[in-house]
Chain A
Amino acid sequence: MKGIKEKTFQAIAYIASLLTAVCLIAIIYGIFHDGLPLFKFISWKDFLFTNNWYPVYSPPGFGAWALIMGSFYVTLGALIIALPLSLGSAIFISEIASPGLREIAKPVIELLAGIPSVVYGLFGIAFLAPLIRQWFSLDTGLNLFTSSLILGIMVIPIICSISEDAMSSVPHSIREASLALGATKSETIFKAVIPAAKKGIIGSILLGFGRAIGETMVVLMVAGGAAQIPKSIFEPVRPMTSTIAAEMGETIMGDLHYNALFALAIVLLIITFFSNLITEIVFRPKRQK
C-alpha cells in the first residue's frame, strides 16, 4: 500500500516534468510547422535579407529585412536609453544611498518591473507621442525615437533590479579593502564592486535585451508601423513583433501571409534562444556549487 502511494507520487512528479518538456517541444513544433512552408515559396536568404514586405500584393513580397532591422533599431535605442539610467540608478541604490532609502527603493523597483506593458503603450500613444511630435515639429510622434524611449523606460526597472542584486551581494570586505587602500568611493565602485558583480550585470543587460526585442504591445501602439529602414530616428518603424500582432488578424489560416508571420516568429525564437544561451553560459559556473 505504502509502495503504491510512493510510486504514484513519483510518477506524478515525473509526468509533470515530462509535460513541461512537451510544452517547449510543442511551442517549437507549432511555430516551425506553420512557418516553414513559406520557404517553399521564397528562399530563407531572400526572406531575411531583401527589403520588400508586401504580403497582400500580388505577387506578394515577403522580404523581412526592414522588419528585422526595425526590431534591432528599437531594441538598440531602448538599451542606449536604459543602460546608463538603470546601471547608474542601481549603483546609486546599492553603493551610495542610505539604508533607509534603499529599503524603500528596492520594493518600488520590483513593483515597477511588474507593470503590464500595455499600460506603457497607452502612456506612449496618448501622452508621449503627441508631445514629441510637438517638440520636434514632426508629422507623427509614432516613431523609432518614441518607441525606444518608452521601451527604455520599461526595461529600466528590470535591468536595475537584477544588477542591483548583483552589486549588493558583493561582500563588504571587498569594499572595505579597497577603501582602506586609499581608493575613493568612485574608484571602489568601478574597480572593485563592478568587476566583482560583472556576471550579474551582464545577465541583467541580456535580460533587458530579450525583453525589449520580444516586446509587442509597446511597439504595436507606438512604433508607427511603416515597413522601411528608417533614415532618421524620427521615422516610423515596424518591428517583427508588431508585424505579427498587427497582421495576424488579416490572414487566413494556412495562406502564405500566415506562414510568413510564423516565419518571423521563427527568427524571433532563434534570436531569443541564442541570447538565452549566452546568459546560461555566463551564469553556469554559479550553478555548479
Chain B
Amino acid sequence: MNRRKGKNTFWIMMMTLMLIITAGFLVVFIVRIISLGAPVLSWKFIVEPPREAMTEGGIFPALIGTFLLTALAMIFALPSGIFTAIWLTHYGKPQWLVNILHIIINTMAGIPSIIFGLFGMAIFVNLLGFKVSLLSGSLTLAILALPVIINNTEQAIHSVPADFSEASLALGATTRQTISKVVFPAALPNILTGAIISVGRVAGETAPIMFTAATFYSRSLPHSLQDEVMALPYHIYALMTEGTHPESQVPIAYGTALVLLILVILIDATAIIIRSYMRKKRQW
C-alpha cells in the first residue's frame, strides 16, 4: 500500500513539475517580449513610418498593411467559407461527396503555411500576373483561412438544435428561409467567434506573404491592390535578418513583436469572451 501511495505522490509531483516548467518557459517568453518591447512603444512608434533605413521611426505602414491584408482575406474567405458550410450541413448530397469535401477541407487545414506561400507565388503572382501585391497576398491568406472558417461555421450550425429547423420547415418555410431566418441567426455568435479567431491567425502569418505581398521597406502606404505592402510579422523577420544596424533594429523588432502580440491576444480574447458570454446566455 505504501509503495502505491509513494508512486501516486511521485506522479502527482511530476505532473505539477511539468506544469511549472511549461509555465516558466512561457512566462520567460512573454516577459522578455514585453520588457524589451514596451520601452520602444509610443504613440509616434504607431503612427510614424520607418526612417533612416529602418533604424528609426515607427511601424505605421506595416500596421496598415497587416490590417488591409487581413481585412481583404476575410472579405474573400468568409462568404465562400460560410456558404460551403451551409452546403455541407443543409444541401450536402450525395453523402460520398460530403465525405470527400470533408477530407479536402481537413487536408487543406494541415498544409504548412509556406506551401500556401509557394502556391500563391506560382498561381497568383506568376500565372495570373497579379505580381507581388496586396491582392496576391490576401488571396493566398484567404485560402489559408478557408478550412478554419468552414470547420468553425459547420460546428456552429451543428450546435443549433435540429428542432429549430424542423419547426421552421414544418411551418412551411423553404430551406433557404429556414437557413437565413432561423439557423443562421442562431448560429451567428459562434460563427463570429470562429471568424475572429481566424482573423488572429491570418494577421500573424509570415510565410504565406513572404513571396506574395510583403516588402521590407516602403515609405508610402499602398495605393491600390497591385501595390506591395509592409506587414507586421514580415517586418519583424526582416528587421532581424536584413539591414546592417542590429543594435538599433533589434529594439524595433521587439516593439513590433509586442504590437503584434497585443493585437493577436486582443482579437483572440474578444472571441473567447464572446463565446463564454453566449454560452451563458444561450437558452437551449
Contacts and interface: CB of A to CB of B under 8 A. Distances in A.
Interface string A178-205: 0000001111011000000000000000
Interface in B157-191: 174-176, 179-180
Contacts, number: 252
Closest 9 CB pairs of A and B: A214-B112, A88-B18, A116-B204, A16-B83, A186-B11, A13-B87, A184-B8, A276-B110, A30-B122
Contact of A275 (B87, B110, B119, B175): B110
Nearest to B143: A23
Given A23-B143, A114-B264, A116-B260, A85 B107 contact: no
28 contacts: A13-B91, A16-B83, A16-B86, A20-B84, A20-B150, A24-B104, A26-B123, A27-B143, A30-B123, A34-B122, A85-B18, A87-B18, A89-B18, A95-B15, A111-B268, A116-B204, A117-B206, A118-B233, A126-B240, A153-B29, A156-B22, A184-B4, A184-B8, A186-B7, A213-B112, A216-B113, A216-B207, A221-B240
Interface residues of A, number: 85
A31 B268 contact: no
A49 interface: no
Main secondary structure of the interface of B (DSSP, over half): helix
A269 interface: yes
Given A20-B101, A116-B233, A14 B91 contact: yes
B119 A26 contact: yes
B8 A221 contact: no
B19 interface: yes
Interface of A: 2, 5-6, 9-10, 12-17, 19-21, 23-24, 26-27, 30-31, 33-34, 84-89, 91-93, 95-96, 107, 110-112, 114-123, 125-127, 153, 156-157, 160, 184-187, 189-190, 210, 213-217, 220-221, 241, 244-245, 248-249, 253, 261-262, 265, 268-269, 272-273, 275-276, 279-280
Nearest to B197: A114
B118 interface: yes
Contacts of B74: none
Contacts of A88: 14-15, 17-19, 22
Contacts of A187: 4, 8
Main secondary structure of the interface of A (DSSP, over half): helix
A189 B33 CA distance: 36
Central interface residue in A5, A15, A214, by most chain B CB within 10 Å: A214
B146 A23 contact: yes
A189 B7 CA distance: 12
Interface in B50-80: 79-80
Given A13-B90, A30-B119, A93-B19, 17 more contacts: A9-B175, A9-B180, A13-B91, A17-B84, A19-B80, A27-B116, A34-B118, A86-B22, A89-B15, A89-B23, A96-B15, A110-B272, A111-B265, A116-B205, A119-B204, A186-B8, A217-B207
A119 B236 contact: yes
B113 A31 contact: no
Interface of B: 4-5, 7-8, 10-12, 14-19, 21-23, 25-26, 29, 32-33, 79-84, 86-88, 90-91, 100-101, 103-119, 121-123, 126-127, 143, 146, 150, 174-176, 179-180, 197, 200-201, 203-207, 210-211, 233-234, 236-237, 240-241, 250, 253-254, 257, 260-261, 264-265, 268-269, 272
Central interface residue in A85, A91, A122, A190, by most chain B CB within 10 Å: A122
Given A185-B8, A245-B207, A10 B176 contact: yes
A20 B80 contact: yes
Central interface residue in A13, A184, A245, A248, by most chain B CB within 10 Å: A13
A27 B204 contact: no
Given A114-B264, A119-B260, A185 B12 contact: yes
Contacts of A262: 118, 122
Contacts of B210: 245, 248
Contacts of B264: 114-116
Contacts of B175: 6, 9-10
A31 B22 contact: no
Contact of B29 (A5, A21, A120, A275): A120
B111 A214 contact: yes
Central interface residue in B15, B121, B210, B269, by most chain A CB within 10 Å: B15
A242 to B, nearest CB: 9
A112 B106 CA distance: 23
Contact of A89 (B22, B81, B234): B22
